[in-house]
Amino acid sequence: MGHITRALAASAATLVLAAGAAGVVTAAQADETAPDPSAPCARQTTQVEKAENALARVTAVFERKQAAVDEAEADLTEAATPRERAAAKKALHKAETAEAKVAKVKKAQQMRLTKAQQRLDKCLAGPSPTEAPSSDAPTETPTETPTETPTDVPSSDAPTTAAPQAG
């Protein structure tokens, strides 16, 4: 069991290094493919791209955590002694807890991506017809004709009456 764990740790370290190198390449490519800041909806497009990249990273982490849970379950079934079973149960619980945390993060990132996509779709659709001023909306400029009903605005010269206080 110790040899399997050591071999898996070495392969995981190799994956992390490879992913780090791929991240450097992707960052360089991202600079070349960045949208023109003066383009319409450029900010929203950038937000969607960032959310998609973040979701891809979180999904990769989630898959690794799922693999760790699968491995811990296999170790539990292979455990022969009570001490090995106890250690395997502990490792399984730890792996399941980590997987649950990452699942929560993944769900949150999916919601961020959905919201960013909605903002981009709204921007690409242009202004909605309800945003245009309607003819019955109040205006800032005064009109020449009086209103149909007088406005009752209390003036500061009018005496105010106070309600009698019960005593």
Is there a domain that residue 93 lies in? yes
Q: What is the pLDDT of residue 24?
A: 47
Q: Give a yes or no: residue 144 inside a domain.
A: no
Give the integer Cα–Cα distance in Å for 123 and 157: 52
More confidently predicted of 76 and 154:
76
Is residue 119 situated within a structural domain?
yes
Q: Please, which pLDDT band fits residue 51 given cuts at 50, 70 and 90?
A: very high
Is the model's pTM score more than 0.85?
no
Residue 161 lies in a domain: no
